[in-house]
A = this chain, B = another copy of it.
């Protein structure tokens, strides 16, 4: 079971790729920067062999991106663990031949160039499917391979702005707010991964590959939840409402004497228990707060009443007594605190790859290893000699 699989004792050595559900697969990885590499990293995490093909010069741009640990770009290391690296000049005949030999034997090709670049190299899906009809050719881009925005410049901040996500995040009296992580890049990468695994399953049935075409924009639109529902319901966009739930109250982040707690009361019973737990049982009888509809109508007054009490004691106090009352509550943690939670060790969610501490894989599967020590990201062209030998013309 998972508890045992995820313990450090069950880990394999750094030199041996893990046996995973995707073991035996060969992936040619033309992706670069964040979005694509995050997706192909998950293939490697689950056992696939991933060969990162980098351009001549300094390779993937992110090798020079901070933050650094010594000389090592953590930006590069965090999304390229477990891959091999070869530099190929895809405009030079000799290297194109090596590349095409890889294509003949690969299960997956992943790329996140701007739409049109692969076709100009002569490596469109249509061309490579002639070489290898079983190839799963997976493209991730900002806005997708077709449509009027196909080649529009796509950076995470632009996608967050154009998808409506920024307009929904933040406070009514504050500006639109970017999620504090490159969410649209990462969502595109996760959809790339899931599209590839779906296409690989289908290939087992049909014998044929396909072209998987995902985008950061589409991936973000699929995640808008209430924002998209509101457009269908009313034709209008939701206003920003800060940290609270649109339809339930109290369901928000609350300020204590020394920090914040999240409290989630989905029904009257829980609100009564909360009121009692904080020593304000009369709030449950207040006409303004008598049921969820009333509490939503008076949500600001409710927050003010609750915070008046919560600010009298530290968060640790309230976490203990609100949790003891059976009301869903949790601490506001920063990232360092989050990774210090004992849950992280129990779930093997902080691993060592190439000696660098980084998040583990969220995919836990019975019967497959989830190594605590994993191979790191490759130096540029580290596998040049062996790969040229293996795929020589």
Contact = CB atoms under 8 A, between A and B. Distances in A.
Interface of A: 1-3, 6, 21-22, 24, 34, 42, 46, 65-69, 74-75, 78, 125, 143-149, 152-155, 157-171, 174-183, 186-187, 190-191, 193-195, 197-202, 204-205, 208, 210-215, 217-219, 221-238, 240-243, 245, 247, 251-253, 255, 260-262, 264, 266, 328-339, 341-344, 346-347, 349, 356-368
B198 A363 contact: yes
A225 B157 contact: no
A229 to B, nearest CB: 4
In order of increasing CB-CB distance, the 9 nearest A-B pairs are A147-B346, A168-B180, A164-B335, A21-B202, A237-B334, A153-B328, A158-B330, A194-B194, A218-B362
A242 to B, nearest CB: 7
B365 A235 contact: no
Nearest to A218: B362
B166 A253 contact: yes
Contacts of A166: 243, 253, 332
Which of A3, A34, A167, A245 gathers most chain B CB within 10 Å?
A167
A69 B234 CA distance: 9
Contacts of A253: 157, 161, 166, 175-176, 178
A175 B334 CA distance: 13
Nearest to A227: B335
A181 B223 contact: yes
Contacts of A346: 144, 146-148
Contact of A331 (B162, B230, B335): B162
Contacts of A190: 187, 190-191, 194
A210 B157 CA distance: 38
Contact of A210 (B191, B223, B366): B366
Contact of A221 (B183, B362, B363): B362
Contacts of A168: 180-181, 334-335
A178 B211 contact: no
A176 B337 contact: no
A329 B365 contact: no
9 contacts: A2-B144, A74-B232, A75-B229, A144-B364, A162-B338, A166-B253, A177-B243, A181-B223, A197-B198
B165 A222 contact: no
Contact of A363 (B191, B204, B236): B191
Nearest to A169: B180
A237 B338 CA distance: 10
Interface centre among A169, A171, A241, A330 (most CB of B within 10 A): A330
Contacts of A74: 229, 232-233
A364 B181 CA distance: 25
Contacts of A334: 164, 167-168, 237
Nearest to A370: B213
A208 B225 CA distance: 35
A180 B240 contact: yes
A236 to B, nearest CB: 6
A334 to B, nearest CB: 4
Contacts of A217: 343, 347, 349
Contacts of A368: 202, 210
Nearest to A180: B168
Contacts of A266: 155
Contacts of A255: 175
A237 B336 contact: yes
Nearest to A212: B365
B221 A338 contact: yes
A30 B198 CA distance: 21
